[in-house]
């Protein structure tokens, strides 16, 4: 299978490309500057795109054995959510989606499947309520962003009328050894000043990077998988439980909470991402038969941090 990945240099995209390449698939990572992607693993190559159109790569999207995994978008955790930054976060997703749709429309024959990136932020703050895929969307910035992002590849003739299978990846907090949120979360504990954020009662819909990649591969290969899928472990944890588990794995105390007002002062609106959460569960993924390598938080953290 040929797999075209947008956002292939990010945490998830790079791990997915490496895994698919090792399995013998033809992997194409789209990049604005392919020259920067050096030392790519076996069976992985880079192709140039502008992030806004199908110019120069539409032929790569063609064929019944082709899949597109659309992950591109500016990081939501790169700084305060000013009006300008919100615009860039949104535009990077919607414009890259337009490029993916254009490539599918221009393809001599349509690809087999499109996996559309999204996030559990789709649901907004949900308190203690369990959140499967049929839960309605929220109404904060992240929720509205996810609704728009998912819709950006849905209402087009190329997707609906031409029979391209589409699945949506509503990803939680991806835990990885060398990137993403975990090294930043672990740092205060290594310095012996770790503890819960805010009340510590908020839910953290986490997933080990190995299961994020495994679930994406599973959905690529399952021809009946359509619609939204929560890519989260089946046992979401409260923030205080994460702190206790981090302290245990790192042999450090986990007693010093960070007050919510301090996070709001430091991060502004973005603090809501840390102080509110979703008890998201992978109902649809489990129903399709995916088996998690790391369903429990403790073993996942031990694997990544020991």
Confidence at residue 96, expressed as pLDDT on a 0 to 100 scale: 96
Residue 101 lies in a domain: yes
Residue 110 lies in a domain: yes
Is residue 299 classed exposed, middle or buried when 0-12, 13-18 and 19+ CB atoms within 10 A define those classes? middle
Residue 107 lies in a domain: yes
Least confident span in 129-143, 155-169, 240-254: 155-169
Nearest C-alpha neighbor of 205 from the set 94, 264, 283, 289 = 283
Q: Token pair 């305060």 is at which residue?
A: 80
Which residues does 299 contact at the CB level (< 8 Å), separation at least 6? none
Confidence at residue 272, expressed as pLDDT on a 0 to 100 scale: 66
Give the count of domains, the chain: 1
Confidence at residue 197, expressed as pLDDT on a 0 to 100 scale: 80
Residue 79 lies in a domain: yes
**Exposure b/e, 148-169, CB count within 10 A at least 16 = b:** ebbebbeebebbeeeebbbbbb
193-203 per-position pLDDT tens digit: 888 787 889 99
85 pLDDT higher than 70: yes
Residue 65 lies in a domain: yes
Residue 187 lies in a domain: no
Please give the biggest Cα pair distance in the chain: 60
User: 3-state DSSP call for residue 190?
Assistant: helix
Residue 255 lies in a domain: no
What domain range includes position 144?
2-173+209-232+280-293
DSSP secondary structure letter of residue 39: S
pLDDT mean over 162-167: 88
111 pLDDT higher than 80: yes
Least confident span in 86-95, 158-167, 182-191, 241-250: 158-167
- Banded pLDDT at 79 (limits 50, 70, 90): confident
Full-model pTM: 0.94
Residue 93 maps to which CATH number? Answer: 3.40.50.720
Q: Token pair 């979401």 is at which residue?
A: 236
Residue 115 lies in a domain: yes
Token duo for residue 267:
């991060």
Q: How far apart are CA 40 and CA 86, in angstroms?
A: 32
pLDDT mean over 269-284: 82
């Amino acid at each position: 299978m040929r797999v075209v990945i947008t956002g292939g240099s990010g945490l998830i995209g790079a791990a997915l490309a490496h895994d698919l390449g090792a399995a013998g698939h033809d992997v194409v990572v789209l990049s604005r500057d392919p020259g920067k992607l050096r030392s790519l693993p076996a069976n992985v190559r880079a192709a140039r795109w502008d992030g806004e159109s199908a110019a120069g790569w539409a032929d790569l999207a063609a064929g019944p054995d082709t899949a597109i995994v659309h992950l591109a978008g500016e990081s939501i955790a790169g700084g305060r959510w000013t009006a300008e930054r919100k615009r860039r976060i949104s535009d990077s997703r919607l414009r890259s989606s337009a490029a993916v749709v254009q490539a599918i429309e221009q393809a001599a024959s349509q690809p087999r499947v499109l996996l559309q990136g999204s996030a559990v932020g789709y649901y907004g703050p949900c308190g203690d309520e369990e959140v499967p895929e049929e839960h309605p969307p929220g109404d904060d910035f992240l929720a509205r962003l996810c609704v728009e992002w998912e819709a950006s590849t849905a209402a087009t003739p190329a997707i609906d009328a031409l029979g391209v299978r589409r699945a949506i990846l509503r990803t939680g907090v991806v835990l990885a050894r060398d990137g993403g949120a975990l090294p930043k979360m672990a740092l205060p504990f290594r310095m012996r000043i770790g503890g819960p954020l805010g009340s510590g009662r908020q839910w953290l819909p986490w997933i080990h990077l190995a299961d994020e990649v495994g679930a994406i591969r599973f959905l690529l290969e399952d021809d009946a998988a359509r619609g939204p899928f929560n890519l989260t472990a089946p046992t979401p944890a409260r923030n205080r439980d994460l702190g206790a588990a981090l302290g245990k794995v790192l042999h450090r105390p986990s007693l010093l909470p960070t007050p919510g007002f301090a996070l709001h002062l430091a991060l502004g609106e973005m603090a809501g991402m840390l102080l509110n959460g979703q008890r998201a569960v992978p109902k649809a993924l489990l129903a399709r038969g995916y088996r998690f390598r790391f369903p429990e938080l403790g073993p996942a953290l031990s694997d990544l941090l020991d």
